Structure 1
Amino acid sequence: MLQLNVKNETSRLRAVILGIATSNGPTPEVHEAYDPKSLEHIKAGTYPVEEDMLKEMDALAKVFDKYNVKVYRPEVIENYNQIFSRDIGFVIDDIFIKANILPDRERELDAIQYVIDQMDPNKVVRPPEEVHIEGGDVMPWNDHIFIGTYKGSDYKDFITARTNMEGVNYIKELFPNKIVKEFDLVKSRIEPRDNALHLDCCFQPVGTNMGVIYKSGFREEADYLYLVDLFGKENLFHIEREEMYNMTSNFFSIDTNVVVIEKNFTRLKNWLLERDFTVEEVPYAEIAKQEGLLRCSTLPLFRD
């Protein structure tokens, strides 16, 4: 039986599902883009190629190997993007929640079914259809669960709005003893610099009491201030618009003092090093062109 345990974003990682870039398929057509950043690169002819993405994911897999993390990979679906495993499910405490993702990504869940089959079936849940929720929007933080959402009345018009208030309420019912706090995120279909696709595009905790945050990713200042109050302003690293566009807040923690970041994030690296973190750097700039980075391509199953 595969044991599940995830209570926060930073405790020592023991098991994870890492996405896969094998047989990733051709560059999408303009009308097939799920987000404005992919669209930008499709139009510019700079959309990432499979060979480069394989190298990047391999570099991350090597870091996991170094720290003796058990890594599961999805089964390969021919000509299909399976990089972003975070979208398709997530673990809170000892429960695996299958995400209701964009309908044409359903096959990605099938590709990790062999992992789900090893779990206690009583600990695997699937929300009802009206509940939209993706793992990139969900962050367990001890007694809190942070959830990114979009509260605009035009929710259904945004392919970049991935988690609705039904999703927030579903998690509240599932975890009645936790403080579930939703954050209303800024969305754009056309400008990736103004689109917080998921909560981890504008905020993520690090260590035991710190975080990386992009203030303008929140539609309501009160939501931003909630995190400032909780973590303390001196414990938050504030990123700029271009850093948010490059996905600086989308790093990944292997332990409370070990963080994997994209190798170009110099400012973040220096901030972490000054606070005695061990920083593991990997190249991930090609994958980032699809508006996803290290946290997006990992699905933690067990943390100590």
Structure 2
Amino acid sequence: MLKLNVQNEISRLRAVVLGTALSNGPIPKIEDCYDPKSIEHIKAGTYPTEADMIKELDAVDEVFKKYGVKVFRPEVIQDCNQIFARDIAFVIDDILIEANILPHREEEVEAIDYIWNQVAENKRIILPENCHVEGGDVMPWYDHIFIGTYSGNDYSDLITARTNIHAVKAIQDIFPHKKVKSFELRKSNTDPKENALHLDCCFNPLGKGKAIIHKNGFLIEDEYQWLVDFFGKENIFEITKDEMYQMCSNVFSISEDVIISERNFTRLNSWLRKQGFTVEEVPYAEIGKQEGLLRCTTMPLIRD
């Protein structure tokens, strides 16, 4: 059996699910896309190839091997995009919660059934059907759980709105001893620079009390300010609109001192090193074209 444990985003990683790009399928039709950035690249003829994305995921796999992390991969489904492992489930404390993701992505959940079945039954939760949630919006942080959401009246028209207020309430009910803090995110079906697909697309807490944030990703300035005050302005790396578009906040912590980051994030990586982090740089720009990066492709199961 797997004894899960994820209390935060930064404790030493021991086991993780890493997405796969094998049999990723043909370039999707525009009407089948889930996000504006993929659409932009399909129109431009720059949508990533399967071979490039396999290489990028392998580079992350190598980093995990270097640090002795046990890596699980989803079972490969023919012609299915299974890159974003974070969307389909997430762990808080010792509980694995299956996400209710976009209806036509249900196959992706079945691909990790073999992991689900290694978790004790009383530690597995499937949320009620009206609770929409994806793992990119959910961040356990010690006695807090940060959740990105969208509660506008046009929720159902926005394919980029992935986590609703019903899910926020359900997670608060499951973890009554934790402080669940939700953040309204800016959504756009058409402009990737005005769209925070998930909370980790505009915010990420790091070790050493630091955090990355993008102000415009938040709809309500007070909620953005709450995070700045929580971490302290001097500990925050504020990214620009273009850096958010490149997915600069979507790095992934292996431990309090070690961060996997995209090799082109020169401004961020230099700041991280100045703060004393070890930065493991990988090529991930092709995967980034689908509006997801390192945190989106990884789903931690066990941290110390």
TM-score range, shorter chain: over 0.9
Distance in structure 1 (CA, Å) of the matches to 2:140 and 2:30:
35
CA distance in 2, matches of 1:183, 1:60: 29
Alpha-carbon deviation of 1:295? 0.2
Once the two structures are superposed, the pairs formed by residues 151-300 of structure 1 within 5 Å of their partners are 151-300=151-300
Letter in 2 for 1:21: A
SS at match of 1:47: coil
**Residue-pair matches, total:** 304
Code of the aligned partner of 1:268: L
Q: Check conservation: 1:10, 1:208, Cα contact below 8 A.
A: no
Q: Deviations over 1:109-158 (max 9, x none)?
A: 11010011111111000000000010000000001100000121111110
Asked if 1:66 corresponds to 2:63, the answer is no
1:132 matched to which residue of 2?
132
- The alignment-based identity, stated in percent, is 63
Q: Which runs of 5+ in 2 are unaligned?
A: none
1:208 Cα offset (Å)? 3.7
CA distance in 2, matches of 1:210, 1:8: 13
Structure 1 counterpart of 2:120, which letter? D
TM-score by length of 1: 0.99
Matched to 2:147, the amino acid is I
Quick one: distance in 1 between partners of 2:208 and 2:179? Answer: 18
**Alignment deviations for residues 12-59 of structure 1 (CA, whole Å, 9 cap, x no partner):** 000000000000000001111110000101111110000000000000
User: What is the deviation of 1:229?
Assistant: 1.1
SS at match of 2:280: strand
How does 1:6-85 map onto structure 2 within 5 Å? 6-85=6-85
Query: What secondary structure sits across from 2:148 in the alignment?
Result: strand
Which runs of 5 or more residues in structure 1 are unaligned? Answer: none
Moved over 6 A (4+): none
Match of 1:141? 141
SS in 2 for 1:286: helix
